[in-house]
Amino acid sequence: MQRNVSGLMGGEGARCAVMAAQNRREELSAYAQHTLAAPVSFRGVGLHTGQTIAVTLSPAAVNTGIRFIRTDVVDRDPVVRAHGEAVCQTRLGTVIGNVDGVTVSTIEHLMACLCGLGVDNLTVELDGPEVPIMDGSCEPFLAILDRAGRRPQQARRRYIEILDRVEVVEDGKSATLCPADSFEVAFEILFDTSAIGRQRVDLVVDEMSFRHDLAASRTFGFLSEVEALRAAGLARGGSLDTVVVIEGDTILNPGGLRRGDEFVRHKALDAIGDLYLLGAPLLGRYEGLYAGHGLNNALVRALLERPDAWRFSAPHEALAQAV
Ligand SMILES: [Zn+2]
């Protein structure tokens, strides 16, 4: 009997030890760089070209970051690295390019997803000039990345820790980074239509909040803008399946909104994607007031020009040592 009791206690103790070891492995894993566990492919329509584009996401080596490769480009360098200084246009989404003039458009939602899920290193091959818009949100990308799975790599993740306030202001709009213990995003918008009005979001961004609070929020636009873009030969892939369209005070999409404040949540998502062009996850607070991709990129560049305002850091240094 006595032996049984001590045996039970021993079993419990062993189980606790196994759980503790597992928790520690998971904790350690959070500080390791990550890539995908396996390649994954998908197809979708480009928002601006209307072209169906095939995309393959593949695991990449440590410290390579996010690289786009245009498989349809044969006469020039097809590789476009995702970093803040590669941004060459921001009027209709974020476009990056290389010195040969090879570009990849509408990268922000995929980049936001990679940030939200903590994917550090990835190769994105695509046979056209644009990342597909999918349903205008990050949810389809989440499903694709979840299908591939993620794996930790044998290198520590570096964070960009904000040490001092950096702000860019233009025409009453602003984008700011300031010190914080985690990655926080706050955004405020005001539109002169009752379909949107004033909306505000303020949250700590981690995988859980990204999945549940931001990922489903879709791109939006006004009917007049969409028509003007179409007339200019753009937004060919724009439809009620890919964009929330507003006319006056009315949402034209038959299914309506996914959440009442879907608009500001999408702006937060855009900012996360634009900030991930810094090349590492952030330890700091972002605040956007009516900001768009242009101002977000100006903020990224302003930070990179202020080496005193940030540093690379590995949080919980002692834990990270063991990775
Ligand atoms: Zn967007």
CA of 138 to the centre of ligand 1 (A): 9
* Cα separation, 287 vs 13, whole angstroms: 47
Note whether residue 15 is domain-resident: no
CA 149-52-243 angle, to 5 degrees, is 80
Is there a domain that residue 184 lies in? yes
- Whether residue 106 is contained in a domain is answered as yes
Out of 48, 109, 293, 316, pick the active-site residue: 293
One-letter amino acid of 66: I
CA distance 121 to 151: 11
Predicted pLDDT of residue 18: 62
The full DSSP string for 122-163 is EEEEESSSB---TTSSSHHHHHHHHHH-EEEEEEE--EEEE-
- Mean pLDDT of successive 10-residue stretches along the chain, which has 323 residues: 42 62 59 96 93 97 97 98 92 92 96 97 98 97 97 94 97 97 97 96 97 97 88 84 93 95 97 96 97 95 96 67 43
Closest listed residue to residue 204, CA positions, set 187, 186, 188: 186
pLDDT for residue 4? 41
Burial group, residue 80, by CB count within 10 angstroms (0-12, 13-18, 19+) = buried
**Domain contains 6:** no
Quote the ligand 1 centre to 219 CA distance (angstroms).
5
**What number of helices (H) and strands (E) belong to the chain?**
8, 20
Residue span of the structural domain in which 112 resides: 32-321
Tokens of 194: 């009752």
Give the H or E element holding residue 178. Answer: strand 173-178
In a domain, 10, yes or no: no
310 within some domain? yes
Residue 19 lies in a domain: no
The pLDDT score that the predictor gives to residue 225 is 87
pLDDT of residue 102: 98
CATH of residue 220: 3.30.1700.10
Residue type, 233: G
Residue 246 DSSP SS3: strand
Q: What is the pLDDT of residue 227?
A: 85
CA 106 to ligand 1 centroid distance, Å = 8
b/e per residue, 148-168, with b = 16+ CB within 10 A? bebebbeebbbbbbbbeebeb
Q: Say if CB 47 and CB 133 are below 8 A apart.
A: yes
Q: Is 293 a catalytic residue?
A: yes
Give 133 Cα–ligand 1 centroid separation in angstroms. 9
Match 């602003």 to its residue by tokens: 174
Overall number of domains in the chain: 1
Supply the pTM of this predicted model.
0.89
Evaluate whether residue 315 is within a structural domain.
yes
pLDDT score for 6: 41
